[in-house]
Chains A and B, each alone.
Chain A
Amino acid sequence: MFDDFFIRALVAGIGVAFVTGPLGCFVIWRRLSYFGDTLAHSALLGVTLAFTMEFNIALSVFIISSLIALTLIQLQKRTNLPGDALLGLLAHSSLAVGLVVIGFLTFIRFDIMGLLFGDILAVTVDDLLIIWVGGAVILLILKLIWKPLFASTVNYELAEAEGLNPDRAKAIFTILMAAIIAISIKMVGLLLITGMLIIPAAMARNISSSPQKMVIYSIIGGLLSVILGLFTSLEFNTSSGPSIITAALFLFILSLFNIKQSIKLKN
């Protein structure tokens, strides 16, 4: 059944949406949008590395993104530059270095558009395996660190005082971010992965009254975006990433109209 490229893309996208839903909520709650962007931009370096060393793309993206995340944490400790400047520095310099390296690799033909914006034709059965197994592992780990991560998102000192070890949870979450970027890069493309994380979660924020509901709506929003986006992509021959993100934007706009009603319902 996975012979058809479209079915493969659909199965891959659904797997990605299950993971970006809950992670995206934390990206919004913890204000990590630009952090996600930075990791995603650095993914290009990971991709070039994978091509030069004939290495698995998801794995090398994961490694490079994790390294960038660790570098960021070190820079935050050692310099007086503000966080957003450091993020911009890492995001653009790693993207630039990645593009320069691609320029040297003349012996490999790169589909740059596919890398940047996602390419459903490129999804293989191996990718499906990586997405679903990797995704399941990410969700399992997220479930294990949910309590300390969520508590420290609400208030760091309460979590620390009551013995939940928020620093460890934060470090693990950073690794999970690198992992989701690694497994979703082929579907959504590295320029738009953060959109897949935050737009369905932002939509969910508009219509939910509790954190659990927001996570569930965020997953549903992601699933709908993937399905809508991929069908559009097939129909109009557009890149899969922009099509999925446009569908997510469409859902977000719909959720804005729902706000007034849901406020009335609550009261």
Chain B
Amino acid sequence: MNANQNILVKLKDAGFKINDKWLVQGVSLQVEKGKIVTLIGPNGSGKSTTAKIALGIYKKIEGEVEKYTNKIGYVPQKISIDWTLPLRVNDFMVLTESLKNEIIDEALSLTGVIHLKDKNLGDLSGGEFQRVLLARAISKKPELLVLDEPVQGVDFTGEIALYELIKKISDELNCGILLISHDLHTVMSATDHVVCLNGHVCCSGTPLDVAKNNEYKALFGEQASQILSRYEHRHDHIHTDEGKIKKN
């Protein structure tokens, strides 16, 4: 069935609804080995839902999902962990797959949190926890990485370093990445394919194609298409002087 051997996951006209309300509808996309596909779009446009459809977390979906790999690393956008569990970073790293110590150390070093290895997970800051989440996802050497806002809460320099790391991982492991990001800089510099969502696919293509697209301009504003040292987002956040995104 898989005509293209490189395809890892493929969505065909996929959609998901809760109580007759569509969260997202009519999404078609595919992630291939060594490629980064980025989902962008305003809040509530169905980015995380699309990722969960691709991952098989949502099962009663419309349309089709074809998955060609089981080696998956996932960084969810929101993660609620119950602190009745005594869980150290080290325990969390081997949550879904047993790993050798060196591999754990290597992954934690790459994301800059090796010093936290024996700390309790509940004691980490938001940014530290995010780095641990990313380390866990990459340590399994997955074929498909699904990263839902992977650098939220990480400091500015760390953000750039982690995005560089993600790009490097995609090259080294030749894994496919489905990335959800608010940061259009990253989207434009590292991504092979952009899918712009707004409850449905409003446009998709290379970053340049999308930036020129009228619907994209309508959604993100004129400035966003001027590849994009700064962009203004009308919907949910403003930009501070440091170039960071601040929620309204």
**Interface residues of A, Cβ cutoff 8 Å to B:** 28-29, 31, 147, 150-151, 153-155, 157-164, 205, 208-214
Residue contact A161 to B92, C-beta cutoff 8 Å: no
Bound-state Cα–Cα, A158 to B72, Å: 10
Dominant secondary structure at the B interface: loop
**Interface residues of B, Cβ cutoff 8 Å to A:** 52, 55-57, 70, 72-74, 76, 79-82, 84-88, 90-92, 95-97, 120, 140, 146
Residue contact A158 to B88, C-beta cutoff 8 Å: no
Residue contact A211 to B86, C-beta cutoff 8 Å: yes
- Within the complex, which residue of A29, A158, A161, A162 is in contact with B85, where a contact is CB–CB below 8 Å? A29
- Within the complex, which residue of A31, A150, A158 is in contact with B79, where a contact is CB–CB below 8 Å? A158
Bound-state Cα–Cα, A151 to B73, Å: 14
Residue contact B86 to A151, C-beta cutoff 8 Å: no
Residue contact B74 to A29, C-beta cutoff 8 Å: no
Bound-state Cα–Cα, A161 to B178, Å: 13
Tell me which residues across on chain B come within 8 A of A210, comparing CB atoms.
Answer: 86-88, 90-91
Bound-state Cα–Cα, A158 to B140, Å: 13
Tell me which residues across on chain A come within 8 A of B73, comparing CB atoms.
Answer: 162
- Within the complex, which residue of B81, B120, B146 is in contact with A155, where a contact is CB–CB below 8 Å? B81
**Mind listing 5 A-B residue pairs with CB under 8 Å?**
A28-B84, A151-B95, A153-B85, A155-B80, A161-B55
Residue contact A159 to B84, C-beta cutoff 8 Å: no
Residue contact B79 to A155, C-beta cutoff 8 Å: yes
Bound-state Cα–Cα, A159 to B95, Å: 8
Return A141 CB to nearest CB of chain B, in Å.
19
Residue contact A158 to B86, C-beta cutoff 8 Å: no
Residue contact A205 to B86, C-beta cutoff 8 Å: yes
Tell me which residues across on chain B come within 8 A of A155, comparing CB atoms.
Answer: 76, 79-81, 95
Instruction: Identify the closest chain B residue to A207 (Cβ).
Output: B86
Tell me which residues across on chain A come within 8 A of B146, comparing CB atoms.
Answer: 161
Tell me which residues across on chain B come within 8 A of A205, comparing CB atoms.
Answer: 84, 86
Bound-state Cα–Cα, A151 to B86, Å: 13
Return A119 CB to nearest CB of chain B, in Å.
33
Known: A154-B81, A161-B76, A162-B140; 20 extra A-B contacts, CB below 8 A, are: A29-B82, A29-B84, A150-B95, A151-B95, A151-B96, A154-B85, A154-B87, A157-B74, A158-B74, A158-B76, A158-B95, A161-B146, A162-B96, A163-B70, A209-B88, A209-B120, A210-B87, A210-B90, A211-B87, A212-B91
